[in-house]
Structures are given as C-alpha cells and as structure tokens.
Structure 1
Amino acid sequence: MAESAVDGRDAFTALGEAVREALGERGFRTPTEPQRRAIGPIARGRDALVVAPTGTGKTETAMLPVLDALEGEDRFGIGALYVTPLRALNRDMRERLEWWGQTLDLDVDVRHGDTTDYQRSKQADDPPDVLVTTPETLQAMLTGKKLRRALEDVEHVVVDEVHELAAAKRGAQLTVGLERLRELAGPFQRIGLSATVGDPEEVGKFLTGDRGCRIVEVDVGSRLDVEVRQPRVTDEDERLAGQLMTDADVASHVRAIDEIIADHDSALIFVNTRQTAEALGSRFKKLGTDIGVHHGSLSKEARIDVEDRFKSGDLDALLCTSSMELGIDVGHVDHVVQYNSPREVRRLLQRVGRAGHRRDVVSSGTVITTRPDDTLEALAIARRASEGEVEPAAIHHGSLDTVANQIAGLVMDVGEIRAMEAYEILTRAYPFAEVGEDEFKQVVRELAGNDVVWLDEDRDTLEKRRGTWQYFYQNLSMIPDEATYTVEDVASGDRIGTLDERFVVNFAQPGEIFIQRGEMWRIVEIDEDEERVQVSPVADPGGEVPSWVGQEIPVPYEVAQEVGEIREVTGTQLRGGATPEATARDLRRHYPADEHTIAEALDPLDRHEAALPTDDRLLVEFRGRQVVINAHFGHTVNETLGRLVSSMLGQRTGSSVGMEIDPYRIELEVPGGVAARDVVEVLNETDPDHLEAIIELSLKNADVLKFRLAQVAAKFGALKRWRGSGSNRFGRDRLLAALEDTPVYDEALRAVLHEELAVEEASEILEAIQSGAISVETVGERTPLGRGGRSSGQELLAPENADASVVQTVRERIQNDQVLLFCLHCQDWESRRTVKTVSDQPACPHCGSTQIAALNPWADEVVQAVKADNKDDEQEKQTERAYRAASLVQSHGKRAIIALAARGVGPHNAARIINKLREDEDDFYRDILAREREYARTKSFWE
C-alpha cells in the first residue's frame, strides 16, 4: 500500500530520548519529507520501502528507528544488517553511521570482499550491533559456523539502492539469501531505500517476499526544473573550434556548459559513457575550466581526490557518469547538466535530483542536446519526469542459474536438506514464486550431474559433496566473470582503454570500427592470449560510420512512442503551412525548451517529403542495398523486429543481412534483389504467435546467445572456468548443441529475451500492423528522418585535426623510444639512448666510424651474432641485417634511425620509406605508421 499522507509534523517524536538528543547534537532540526512520512511506520516495526531522491536523508530515515530499537538491548549477535550493492560504502555514509554508533554506544562495522582476515575473525567472535555488507558477502556469511550464530539475532535488514538490485540477478540472489536468513533468525523487519521507480509496489514485493509493505514515495517531478537546450552556434564557437580541435557544433556545447558552470556555485555534468567523459573533459581542460572528471574506470584514489576537491570548493564542477548516481556525497550541488539525452526518465530524475537537496528546494538541471533525435527524446523524457511517469524495474523472474546458485547455498548452510524444503524456501522469494517443481527438479539434476551437490533420490535429500564448497565460493556473485581486453594504439603504444569480453567475442575483428574515448578506432589485431586489442585511429572520421558505438542505454518504448507523437503533431502542422518558428512556439507550451532548440529538432521534419513515421506509422525507405524501417518503438522492440526481418530475409535469399538499430530506426543492408515490399511482406505475414520461435531460431546462430550460454553454464557448474575468445567459436557451437535440452540453455535464452529483446511487445506490434492499427508506408529513397541515425556517436570527433594529431603522436612516440647504436667498424662501442638524443649523423666515439647500426634496444643477440667467429644461419641473417641498417644510417643519418626505430620496420622497409619522394615531413611519419599497421595486421601470418 502506498503512503501519501504525512504521518506527523515531527516524526522524531517516535524515537527514544537518546536518539532525539543525538539529533540535536548532529544539527537535525526538522525531518525531511521521507523522514516525516516513514520514521513512524518503521519505528512501529513495519516493513517499508522508501522511494526518494539521493540526498533527502533516506539513510537516516531507515537507520534512526533501527538504531533506536537496538539502543540499550543486550544481545550477542548482529542486530541489524545494512546491505548495499556498492562494494565499499561511500565514506560520507560510513562516517555518518559510525558517528551514530559511537554516540549511541552501538558498534557499527563493515564487511565486504576486501575486509581483512583479522577483522573477519573479530566480527565472528565479537559481532557488531550493525553490520554493513554487500549481497555477495551476505551469501558467504550464511555458511560460516560462528557467523550463523551471530546472524540468529538479526531483527532488521535495510537494503540500500534496492531499485538497482531489483533489475539484476544479484538482487534475485539476495531475495533468496534473505529467506535463508529468515530460516536462521526468524521473521525480521525489512526496509528498502530506493530512487524513483515506476512500480514501487512491485519493488516492495521484491523486498518483502510479497508479505505486505508500507510504501513511502516522495514526488520529485513537481520539484524538478529542467530545460532542454541545443546551443546556437556563434562566431565565437567558430573560433573556439580550432582551439578545442573539434567542430563548431561541439564547441558550442562546451561553451554553453562552461557558461552554466560560471553561473552556478557547484555543478555536476553527467554524460552517458566513460568515453564521452574523457573526451569532453579534455576539451574543458583546453578551455581552462575548473572541472574534475569522475568515472568508474578511474582509480579509487583518483575518484576520492576529485570528490574531496569538489566538496571543498576547489573545483567548480564535476564531469561524471553514473558513478555519481549511487549516493556519493559531494556536498551541495546547485545545478546539474546532462550532456545528450539521459535515455530514461529514472536516470534524469536521479541525476537532476542531485541538485538542491534541501527540503522545498527545486532541483534544477539543463539537458544539452546535439541533434534532432536527441532533442525530441530529451523533451519527452523531461515531460514524463515532471509527471512522474517512470519506467518499471525489470525484475528477473525465475532465473534458473540463480536457483542453481541458491540450491548450493542452502546445502552449504546446513549440510543436508530435503529437496522440497529447499524448494519451499526458494519460492518464498518473490522472483521465484512461479518456479514450478519440475523446473526445480531439472535444475537439481543438472547440479548433481555436474558434481555440485549430491542428490539422494530415495530419501529426496540434497547433500554437500567435495565440489560444493569450491563451486559456491567461486560463484558468490551472480555477476558473470568476464575478461577485460586492453585497447592499445598501434601508433603510440599508449593504452586507450579497455573492452569487455562480450564486445570482443561478439563483434571485434580486424577492420571493424568502434568508438572509444570519443574517437573512432579501427581494429588492427586481436591478441587473445594477451587479452589485447591493437587499434589505429581513423584518419577521416567524417567519412566513416562506426560499426559499434558502445553499449547504449536502451530508450524505453514509451519514450520512443512520445517522440513519434511529437513528430505526428508537428509534422502535420508543418505540412498544413505552419512555419517551423510557429510550430516551435506551439510545442514550447508543452515542453521545456526554447524556440531555437525546438526549431532545430524540427528541421529534418520540415525537409521530409515522404510519409511521416510516427508512433502509429512505419516508413520503410530503400535505396540500393540500404533499407531503413523508421519505427518509434525503442531499442528492445526494434532489436526484436530487426532480428525477425533480417532472419526471414536471410532465409529467403540464402545471404546474410546486416542490421543496426536505434530507438527510431532499423537499418538493414540487404542482398541484391531485396526491395521494400519484401520487408513489408515479412511484417504483414509473420504470425505474431510464431515470433518467439523465430527469434529463438535466429539466436542459435548469434554469438549473443552462445556467449550467455557459456556464462550461465559456469553458474551451473557445467564449466569450471570459461574464458571466451574468438578462437573458441567452434567450442561455443558445440556447447550449444550439448546443452540445448537442459535448464542451462533455457536460462540463457530467458536472460537474452529479458535483457536484450522484447518479444511480447514486438508481437503486439505485428498484430497492430496486420490489423491496420499501425500503417506501413514505403518510399524509394533515403529521407532526412531515415538518415538521422547515422550521426549518432560522432559529436566529439575532430575530422579536420585527427590526421595531424595522429602524425604528431607517432612522431613523439618514436622520438622517445630507445635505440641500440652499435659500431660495426670497431665492434667495441654500443650505446642505448632515446632517438631524440641521437645526433643527425652519429659516429663512433672510439674509432670515428659512421658505420653505426641502429638496432632494437634489447637486440643483444644481434651484437653477439656480429661478433661471433663461427656463425650459424640465423646469426648470418642477423649480421646481414645489421650491416644493411648501418648502411642506411651512413647514408641518411638520423632519418634512418627514426625509420628503423619503428615497430616491424626492418632495413628493407626503412629504405623504401626513406627513399620515397615527398613534399611534407608529416608524410614521412604517415608512411612509417602505414608500415607499422601492416606489420601489426600481418605478423601472425609470417612470424
């Protein structure tokens, strides 16, 4: 049941005298809204879910009544658990809890994966009153003999950031862990703390096992002031573009954000990816803006440093990703900037909600958009946020690998358990309430077959066996183990970043283009043994389309539909003779943006002459082998429909069909002879009831399912440890064949359908198309709206300067590389030094000869080969190469040394580079880089 009325003006009266006195000492005068409405019910022992933005005192809302209940009690064990999905509780919250503990004479301690053995032992022997822990560490605690005794006294469990856990398997795992704790401690109070969600009742069921829950939800939409803005390009931006090595549009974005920072005391600038954070941060650095960068790839020390500097006022702004969403305290923030659409309503609410946390203060924010799709999407999200129309949490119902994991956990808890008793405990948890007995038995048999547990079918019992302990502790977390590949620039040798194993397995191959760090890169080589991807920068990003632009936050169906509705209304007005300016003024009455921003977003509509794609009209456009289905259905529905169409067209033609999707388009590259009518035929004639079967069939040929299957198999104990890589593709095919009729396959398929696709919604779309509720039009040309997806992800690129910057990078890297100089005349002098310190015409300081070989700095074996009296064949080759290198140095001096210092460039190729006629010195380094790329690409064939 939802709580809407205020329980009392001063909820602090529900607390005991010691806590009230501490409140005064801490400076709490009046409760915040969540505290006013939730402290009373929680103090009376009610299970509760508190839904409110970060910074509104949610932690104290939950913990003050809990600490009040624990104060003065005499117990041996742990009285309360505070479970957080963050590995280490942020320092501010930890300090606050420890202050309360010290003031009320309660012991508050933290336990997670990095806790020392000494501290763990101390906690088991002398348990704290309150233990802060993670979902995974709770799993381990439930199996420890001493800790189980300590957990018997638990009376309260607070789950922080429950909205994050509700949508993840680690949250589903926690719900069973809480039922296992209930077996040990008896019923206990459950309190959840959540950011704004669209279905708080569902999250409440997730928290309590559907046993009833008081829901206290703070309305944040009415306290939100958001403006959507695409900056106007000025003459100043044209000048600034050169300084920032970008174009005028991006310069206008940087300038506009810089002005917002200057107008406020402290601002957070949120971006959607780490790459954007780095790229945008580098431009602010060139501009001299006093800003720090904060994201998950930075070291813990670097993050703490910028948090502290921002909180103390040394920085005016913090540029961050979702790393700043989960409750990290950085003091007062008076404005939030979101760069590009936030993609989801909940994300906008959570981010902008970080501004103006004091009671009755409006949270203000600006969304800076970069293109028409981006603007209309942000407008729809801003309106929906103000109305409280938030996306629901996508709970993982019935995840069978989590069932397997928790069966092992239950056996670890007690050593032996009746199978049906384990089933009853498991299905008390809300995400598993619908798991059938037959499904459960199949999972048990799979675990027994994998030597994870012992199944005594005669007694219907599950018992520990030798492999149970190892399996359980290797699988404490439901986050899949995934390798991380280092991305290395072949030009500079610098580390660019990292790529997840999922990307490398499913996509990466030489020649493919992707975006990282705000720049485009082409894959040169993948070294699976070293887990390294070598790349080269794309010299002309303006002429390339990335095959992959990073893991996008999926845009929900409802947001994409509203974008379609906006296009329907405004497009009709424009076609009726209204000017873009008048249409923009009309739309401004309903959406928070200035006329320039809206007019820019309407520009493609104004130029679009074909039928308008809207929320209930598809437009299929084609030209040559390019087909675009303009469809306003969001990421997962478009992904599902795209897989359907590409699969069916592929079957008909016997050829593969390329596919790219965004929330508003399905872009296909089709074989010759395929026309728009073939696409329309698939949409009109596919039985909606057959869609899931068609999608499943298509997934069997897709790496996404095979990759997920290997992850799930590991969680079932079917694989002891699996490391996916491109060379294992045949192995993954065999794995698919071996596991197809098992619960492992069923779970892998369920997870892909749940997280990546939307079969049920796509089936409804097909029904609507076939009934005429959604119309389908075709046009034999590319349209302004259809082409709108191609610019995605390129906002921060610098086409005009990219080539020059790459040349400079190569120059600096080679100048700083080391080289071994060896005199072939006297064979008595050798010296290691950086290339930049070598003279224009090196000579031996011992004999004065200029017959100097420039060698790899670690080529001691070449020196030994030259000096050897009786040379073998390999030494003869090495000696010959050394004399050829020395001949080049004699003829061309330092220029030869530069060429020879390049990677994979021997005397033969160095001579070709040196002797090539060229007007520009930069071309010399371009030729060196071309040879290095060729070496990286081909070395696996000839080494």
Structure 2
Amino acid sequence: MSSSRLDWIEKWFETKGWKAREFQLEAWKAYLRGENGLIHVSTGFGKTYAGVLAALADLTLEEQKAPGIHILYISPLRALSADIIKSIQQPIDEMKLPYTVEGRTGDTSASQRAKQKKNPPSILVTTPESFNLLLASEEYREALKKCRLVVIDEWHELMGNKRGVQVQLCLAHLKKLAPNLRIWGLSATVGNPELAGRVLNGNVLKNFVFITEKVSKEIEVQTLLPDEIDSFPWSGHLGLAMLEKVINHVDIKQSCLLFTNVRSQSERWYNEILLRKPEWEPIMAIHHSSIDRERREEVENKIKTGELKLVICTSSLDLGVDFPMVERVYQVGSPKSISRFIQRAGRSGHTPTGVPRIYFVPTHALELFEYMATELAIDRGLKEDIIPPELSFDVLAQHMVTLASGEGLIPSEAFEEIRHTYAYQKIERYQFDNLLLFLTQGGRSLSAYPYYHRLKELNGRYLVHDKKMIQQHLMNVGTITSDPSMRIKFAKGGSLGSVEESFVSKLKKGDRFVFSGKVLEFMMIKDMTVFVRLAPPKAAVVPIWWGSRLPLSSLLTSHLKEIFELIEQGRYQHPLIEFLSPIIEVQKALSRLPGRNYLLLEETLTREGRHLFIFPFEGRLVHEALAALLSVRLSLRTKVTFSFAVSEYGLEILAPSDYKFDLEVIKECLSLDNLTNDIQRSLNMTQLAKKQFRDIAQVSGLVYQNRMGEKRTMKNLQMSSSLLFEVFSKYEPEQPLYNQSFDEVRFFQFQESRLVSVLRKIKEMPFELYKTSRPSPLAFPLIIERIGSLVSSESLQDRLQRMKEKWKQVS
C-alpha cells in the first residue's frame, strides 16, 4: 500500500524533471507508517513537499469526499501563506486531485471566513494565532476532527517563544479532537533537534522520527573591510561608515538583499543609499514588519520576478519565502547568532543547486572578531540550541478562555491535556486551580470586579457566557505584544504602515521623519491615525521601534573567546589577522587578549576616576545582570558611588580616583550565593518586572489593547497594568501572573540560567588583572557606552582620536 502511494508521488516528481531526495523519501515512508517527525534540513531543499505529499497520497476516496480539514499547515508568518498555498496547489492541480487549499490568517476577509465555516477546505494554511481561534468555533472544531496531519513550518522560529507555547497547547487539544493526528515539524536551523522534537510532540519521542540529510551546500562568505582599522568606528550599530564600500560593491545587475538588525537601521540605510544613488530608486525598496502589508507583498513579488535589484530589509525576510532570483546577501553588522547568519545567507542561492553568497559588513572594528567566530562555528556545522519557555501562565490563561469560549472547559480533562505539553509538564494542580479561580472570580484581589469574572461553571463545565466578552477575547488572541502602534496615512489617502505611539507622541506639527523609505512631514493625529504628507529629502529623524538589540548567543561568545585564545597563542591563521594587527598588538602591549580559561580584568586611572573593566565576553544581557549583581553587593560593603556601563564584551565599574579595587571582594561579589535574592534587590528589578507585566497582562486578558470600537493608547495600557501590578504586589503576591513577570525578567532580561552557568565558570577561573596606563582597545566600547550619551558625537570622536593617538606611543 505504501509503495503505490510513493509511486504516485515519484511519478509527479518525474513530470517536473525532479528526483526525490533521500530525506524526502524517508519522510514519506515514515508518515505512511503512521509516525510523527521533525525534518531538519537546510533551506531550499524541498521540506514543504517532504511534509505534505505523503498525506495527500494517503487520503482515501471516502476521505476525499468527506467535508473537513484533512491537513493543517501552520506558518509563523502570514506573508508566507500565499507561497505555501501555491506550492501545495501545484501537485493538486497537475494530478487533478479533488482537494482544496485555502488560507486562514488575520488577513482573511470576514466573508471568506464565513464560507470556510460552511465549506472547509481540505488543506488549511494558517498561523499560530488563527489556529487558536479555530478552537473557539464549533464549525471549525467539527471540521478539524477529520484532521490527520499538522505541519508546523519554521519550527525553530516558534519553539523558543510564547507563540510556540500557544502551538503546543492547541496541538494538545487537537489530539483529543482528532486521535489519529500526526504531527510533523520543518526546521532548518536548530542546534538541539532532539529537544525540538520533544517540545513538538508533547514531551515524548515515542513513535517519533528525526529526518535530516547532510547536503553539500557550502555558504560562500566574504567580508567588506574599511580602508584602515584605525579610522573605523569603535562602537555603534548603524554601519554607515561602510556605506560607500557597499554601494561600490553592489552589482545592480544582480538581485541582492541587504539585511540590517533593526527597523530604524534599515530606514537609515535605504535613505542614505537613495541620496547617493537616486537613479536606483526604481529598482530598490525597503521591507520591514511595520510597513503596510500590501506594500510588503508588492516588494516580495518584485523580488521573485527580479524586478527589484536591491532590497534593504530586517528579519521580516528571514523566513521561508522562496527568492530564486536573489544571488547575494549583505549582512550589516553582526547578527549575534550563528543560526541567524546561516538563515539570512540562505535567502540567496535558494535552490538545491544554488550557492548562498553573503557579504559581512562590519559596523565597528571589534565585530570583525565576531565574524571570525561566526565563520569558525559554521565550518564546524554548529547552530544555537533553542531554549523553550516553561510555565507561561499568561498563555495558559488565554488558552483556557479560548476553550471556554467554545465547547467549554472541564478542569480535570483540561489539566491532563495541558500537562502533556513540554511547556506545562511541571505544572502543579494547585497552580492550575489558582489560575481557574483567577478566571472565574478574579482571584483574591479582583473578586469585587465582575469584569474579571470571565468564566462561569455549569454542570462541571466552565464557559464564557457573555458574547461581548467572547468577541473581545477573540479580537485580542495572540502572544506578540508591542507598544501600541498608530497607522500612518497620507492626508490625501493611502496607507504606509504603522509606527509606535511612543515615537509619535514626541512629534510636533511640521516635524519630519523617515518611514518606508520616504521623508514625511507630520500633520496631525486623528482617530489613532497619523496623517502625513511627503517632504523634501532633507534631514529627518528615524523612528525607534520598541524592542532591544539582538543578544549575543552563547555559542558565538564561546567561539569568540576561542578565537582570541588561538590568536594569543599564535595558532590561528586567517586573512583578517593582519588587518586587525594594530588592535591586537596594542591590546597585547597594554594587557592581553581574553581566553576561555581565565577572566580578564583591567584597571585604569583617568581624570574621570578609577575604572575596572571586566571582560567575560558573554553578551550584553548577561553583563547587565552582572552589573546589577555587583551594584547591589558592592553597595552593601561601601558607601562609595559607582557608575556602570556594559557592552557585548564586558562591563565597566567607575569609582572615585582614591578607591582601591580589591580583587577578592570582586570575586566574592561574583559568587552564586544568594543569587536570586540579590538580583531581586537590584534597583531596577521591580520596574523591569512591572514593564514585563504589561505584556503578560495583555496576553492573559487582564487588560485588552483592542476593545470594541477602540484601540487603547499606550498610556492607558501602562496605567491599567501598573495599577494591577501594584494591587497584586500589595494584596496577592502569590498571584501567578504577578510572579511570572519576575520570572520572565530573570529568563529573558537577565538570562538567569546562562548567568548561573557564567558564574559557575567564573568561580573556577583564575582572575587575570592588568593595570593599564590607558584604556585598551577592548575597553573602548565600554567608554563609548557610558559617555556617548553625555557628549556630542563630534567631541566624542575627538576624544577617541586622542586616545588612539596615545596608542601609537604604546605600540
């Protein structure tokens, strides 16, 4: 039986002139044996067909005729839906199969959704958020009982965040509706595939297969270098010092993507290129997540056809879209992650025979060491492990309300269902009951407010009886929260996209800002819409979007320290070593290079005071946690006022000139003893938790961003969530959502598990302290971090130049 189905697939492949790859054959056979699995193969080799074709071939004649959703395909991005539908539709049309393929995302019209309820497609392509909404609909739940396969695309993109938690909960419920369900994940860049499979398959690996294929698809990587290292910037992330180099290097006859790490950076690069090359405007575009969907889709279509030759973009183009016309990629600045670098390189040469080409464009001098570390990890075939969140009670609260909005929630059944997910494997019954109490009575603190009595019990089943409350919940389903955004429209019509309220609130009439590659003049705000008109291409500010810089991954930091160690020992040969020799030699003359087996510290006396530079090389987030820890512990020992600065590479403590740093005291302050309490006591911990609580309150439904007929402002959301935070702090400190805000700060902001690992390593390391006559090259980014916001860019450059001149005396 399996053989005949495989013949069907291979026959279609022959009509296309294709030959099935080994991993595709293996996946089809495993599916036909009734197994679940994870397909872990590089981008551009046909994972979509590996995931769905066996299921298409396996449907019987009876199933073909029976109404229902037989295959559910989940993609992390709405923008990918059209491409996925087109890919699946092709074999259906060419083999004349009686199946229908449709999409169901936030962009699907109300009329189309109504048609799907009455006549569901055989194959539905959707997103995690829309998957959640399907479970609240009686018609969709009935249609999903026929489901035999769920495919989750780009699983590495979902596994490590709350959207992945949302998918886990929905899959657990779908298994109850469709007992014969099989689950398959598709992924290209994950360092811990076994854990990825466990998270995907309900924390078990029974009847589960891992399918991969070693493919010889080398990434062609090159670096664009500044003319000389001494004149190159020492900090920052825009990279505009390399603008002319990039413009001269771009071959406008070829299709290129230029990746930046943040949206504001992409806007700056687009406009600076356009100022120098206005003739490129017809063949150049910008793409990021805040630009209007229709404009993004237009750009994507023009990339596919080759009409656009240069697109400046962010992670909005990281995933899944096939761009066979793209021949090269530029990466401005370190992507801070091996997997992200590989993912972006794979946007070029996006065919089985294509060669991915990526050009690294450093934004400051020390990033060239990051590049060498990235290259070393890629040569070793390594990618980052993804750590999935656990016990996200806000996502669970949202899911429970979704179930209660539909068929209802039976506590004993729901608890068992939830406990069989990876995310909630450690949940205790009392935690579940407390959350249920919160949803039914508002908990102890909010019991007097009917607004928080969302669920009501009827014969052992909990339901949401208020139709307006159901509608409001469905309007707000999701786990991605952000600063509330405002639409940007031209006064004479035409939408551009959205910008965050916190940026717009600072604008005055006549102010100019850059958005979607255009210089706009702010006119007015009306009905949560920003009205603008085009302005001449003169100086204008660039919006800064909510969010933080990309964190440096632990895999990259370990290779970075190895690179330094090998250079120190003279055992690393690389073309960049000679170029970087001025930095290396000065660092060695003043101090030494960092290593994996010791902690480098430098002490320097300047007119500002006494500096202690510590170089763990563990990334900005870990260094922020270390700085918070040191601030608390040092303050308990002395009344001296310290200043702190952190970078990706280390941290600086600035003390008065007469202060004497005691190495033993620093070692004691970097111990694991009483770690959680000391971090909790850091001055900004409560404020960070309060900020995090705003997102938790939105996801859990404590506050709603979208209300019937209105969208709440940032000020309203902050006031409401802050008030609730204070209420829980005072009257109900055991409240699970309140405690989750502190847990998430430790997990995301301070990366506590990584911090613990770093402190354990530090405990076993010797400290190498060098008293330097002037700040070393490694100390430069820390000095810039601290003083950059206090002086003008011109005076800062003068100051740095004077420091560089002093280096010449050292070398």
> Taking structure 1 as the reference length, what is the TM-score of the superposition?
0.69
Aligned residue in 2 for 1:89: 80
Distance (whole Å) between structure 2 residues aligned to residue 143 and residue 713 of structure 1: 21
SS in 2 for 1:110: strand
Distance (whole Å) between structure 1 residues aligned to residue 461 and residue 769 of structure 2: 58
For residues 55-134 of structure 1, the aligned pairs below 5 Å read 55-70=44-59, 72=61, 73=63, 74-102=65-93, 103-134=96-127
SS in 1 for 2:331: strand
Structure 1 stretches lacking a partner, 5+ long: 1-11, 239-245, 489-494, 520-526, 533-538, 574-585, 801-943
Aligned residue in 1 for 2:624: 639
Task: Please say which of residues 747-756 and 332-341 is displaced more in the overlay.
Answer: 332-341
**CA separation of 1:110 and 1:199: change in aligned 2, threshold 3 A:** same
Tell me whether 1:52 sits opposite 2:45 in the alignment.
no
SS in 2 for 1:109: strand
CA contact (8 A) 2:128 2:163 kept: yes
2:245 equivalent among 233, 255, 264? 255
Aligned residue in 2 for 1:703: 687
Aligned residue in 2 for 1:227: 222
2:212 equivalent among 203, 210, 217? 217
CA contact (8 A) 1:706 1:732 kept: no
**CA separation of 1:272 and 1:518: change in aligned 2, threshold 3 A:** farther
Shift in Å, 1:92: 3.0
Tell me whether 1:561 sits opposite 2:561 in the alignment.
no
CA contact (8 A) 1:342 1:378 kept: no
**CA separation of 1:730 and 1:755: change in aligned 2, threshold 3 A:** closer
Aligned residue in 1 for 2:678: 694
Instruction: Read off the aligned partner of 2:558 and give its amino acid letter.
Output: Q
2:567 equivalent among 567, 570, 579? 570
Distance (whole Å) between structure 2 residues aligned to residue 373 and residue 408 of structure 1: 49
Shift in Å, 1:391: 0.7
Shift in Å, 1:675: 4.0
Tell me how many residue pairs correspond in the alignment: 727
Aligned residue in 2 for 1:605: 587
Task: Please say which of residues 12-21 and 692-701 is displaced more in the overlay.
Answer: 12-21
Shift in Å, 1:183: 1.3
**CA separation of 1:496 and 1:776: change in aligned 2, threshold 3 A:** farther
For residues 195-344 of structure 1, the aligned pairs below 5 Å read 195-212=188-205, 213-219=208-214, 223-232=218-227, 250=240, 252-256=242-246, 258-261=248-251, 265-285=254-274, 286-287=276-277, 288=279, 290-344=283-337
Aligned residue in 1 for 2:470: 469
Distance (whole Å) between structure 2 residues aligned to residue 386 and residue 110 of structure 1: 39
Shift in Å, 1:90: 4.4
2:549 equivalent among 520, 532, 552? 552
Distance (whole Å) between structure 2 residues aligned to residue 461 and residue 621 of structure 1: 66
**CA separation of 1:789 and 1:484: change in aligned 2, threshold 3 A:** farther
CA contact (8 A) 2:44 2:352 kept: no
User: How big is each residue's C-alpha offset from its partner over 1:527-547, in whole Å with a ceiling of 9 and x where there is no partner?
Assistant: 999899xxxxxx999xxxx99
Tell me whether 1:412 sits opposite 2:405 in the alignment.
yes
Task: Please say which of residues 104-113 and 114-123 is displaced more in the overlay.
Answer: 114-123
> Taking structure 2 as the reference length, what is the TM-score of the superposition?
0.79
Q: Greater RCO between the two (CA within 8 Å, min separation 6)?
A: 2
SS in 2 for 1:433: coil
Distance (whole Å) between structure 2 residues aligned to residue 568 and residue 557 of structure 1: 17
**CA separation of 1:733 and 1:118: change in aligned 2, threshold 3 A:** closer
Tell me whether 1:448 sits opposite 2:445 in the alignment.
no
User: How big is each residue's C-alpha offset from its partner over 1:876-917, in whole Å with a ceiling of 9 and x where there is no partner?
Assistant: xxxxxxxxxxxxxxxxxxxxxxxxxxxxxxxxxxxxxxxxxx
Shift in Å, 1:356: 2.3
Instruction: Read off the aligned partner of 2:51 and give its amino acid letter.
Output: A
**CA separation of 1:112 and 1:307: change in aligned 2, threshold 3 A:** closer
SS in 1 for 2:627: helix
Shift in Å, 1:130: 0.6
Task: Please say which of residues 90-99 and 115-124 is displaced more in the overlay.
Answer: 90-99
User: How big is each residue's C-alpha offset from its partner over 1:405-425, in whole Å with a ceiling of 9 and x where there is no partner?
Assistant: 2222333342251x2221101
Aligned residue in 1 for 2:708: none
Task: Please say which of residues 614-623 and 265-274 is displaced more in the overlay.
Answer: 614-623
User: How big is each residue's C-alpha offset from its partner over 1:183-242, in whole Å with a ceiling of 9 and x where there is no partner?
Assistant: 1121301111112100111111111113322112344686223233424359xx99xxxx
CA contact (8 A) 1:621 1:779 kept: yes
Distance (whole Å) between structure 1 residues aligned to residue 685 and residue 189 of structure 2: 39
Tell me whether 1:167 sits opposite 2:167 in the alignment.
no
Distance (whole Å) between structure 2 residues aligned to residue 701 and residue 351 of structure 1: 35
CA contact (8 A) 2:153 2:187 kept: yes
User: How big is each residue's C-alpha offset from its partner over 1:621-653, in whole Å with a ceiling of 9 and x where there is no partner?
Assistant: 354355532221123321221211123345556
Instruction: Read off the aligned partner of 1:116 and give its amino acid letter.
Output: S
CA contact (8 A) 1:198 1:389 kept: yes
Shift in Å, 1:351: 1.0
Shift in Å, 1:394: 2.0
Distance (whole Å) between structure 2 residues aligned to residue 602 and residue 548 of structure 1: 36
Task: Indicate the structure (1 or 2) with the bigger Cα radius of gyration.
Answer: 1
Task: Please say which of residues 108-117 and 28-37 is displaced more in the overlay.
Answer: 28-37
Instruction: Read off the aligned partner of 2:36 and give its amino acid letter.
Output: D
Distance (whole Å) between structure 2 residues aligned to residue 517 and residue 768 of structure 1: 45
Instruction: Read off the aligned partner of 1:86 and give its amino acid letter.
Output: L
Matched-pair identity in %: 25
**CA separation of 1:309 and 1:460: change in aligned 2, threshold 3 A:** closer
CA contact (8 A) 2:633 2:669 kept: no
Structure 2 stretches lacking a partner, 5+ long: 443-451, 490-495, 518-524, 531-537, 706-711, 795-811
